[in-house]
Amino acid sequence: MTKLMKMKIGAALVALAASVAASAGNLAVGGYTDSSGNVLSSAGDTRLTVVSDGTTTTMSMANLYAYGEAGPKRLEPGKRQAWFGSDPGYFKGGTVYVLKLGNDWRGGKTAASVNLDADNGLVVLAKAPVGADEVVFTWPSRKAGPAVKYDCQPLNYLLVKADGNRAWLGHSGWAQDNTSSGIGPYLVLANNDQRFPATVVCYGRDGEIVPVTQPMRTELAKIIQPPADADRPLASAQSR
């Protein structure tokens, strides 16, 4: 190979690398959408891992997104506020609270209304500081009792920023519908309403993690309800 040929090949590789770098932000990630239903760029989805040794559960979230409140219009999810990849300062010094969804959605109707000081163990399951685009939580594992096959805990994530302001963190595997092919293995939309996602961690008899199957998701979506004062989704959405 001549020196000229080597130079041409080298130049071509540099040009290709530059082209890939320039187009990387335009790549789509199949199956994943943001809260407005738009396909995410190559930034991708929030990454979630959940493991249990039968006694302690460890959850790791990475590639963090922050969202505002769900909109007042029907089927209008909260608007994206920030993505760690482009705005780490938004998350720096923040603390994330894992909230147990129960009769009181997210421990309050809005992020600002969640009373973290008067928790008494009914709202907050765990909390941890935001690290380098990651937050890691631990809590005691649950175990399914003799009368049930699985014991499930629905969750949401509240970010309290360094300045005291609040936002919701995005869920891994968010989708517009509980039957979407790209929905995450721990994701359930309350009442099949895309505005109100929940991460649901289910346990077996020995405290092992059990990913949510479609039949389980269908049942959980009936149990996990939106805030009491939330307007109901359109009938066409409920039937999907």
Q: What is the pLDDT along the chain (240 residues), one digit of tens a residue?
A: 554 444 443 444 333 333 222 223 333 434 444 555 555 444 568 999 999 999 999 999 999 999 888 776 656 778 888 999 889 999 999 999 999 887 656 567 788 888 887 666 678 999 999 999 899 999 999 999 888 899 999 999 999 999 999 999 999 998 889 998 889 999 999 888 888 899 999 999 999 999 999 999 999 998 888 776 666 654 434 332
Res 14: pLDDT? 34
Give the pLDDT of residue 156. Answer: 92
The closest alpha carbon to 137, from 162, 157, 163, belongs to 157
CA distance 158 to 65: 11
Q: What is the pTM of this model?
A: 0.78
d(CA 45, CA 33): 8
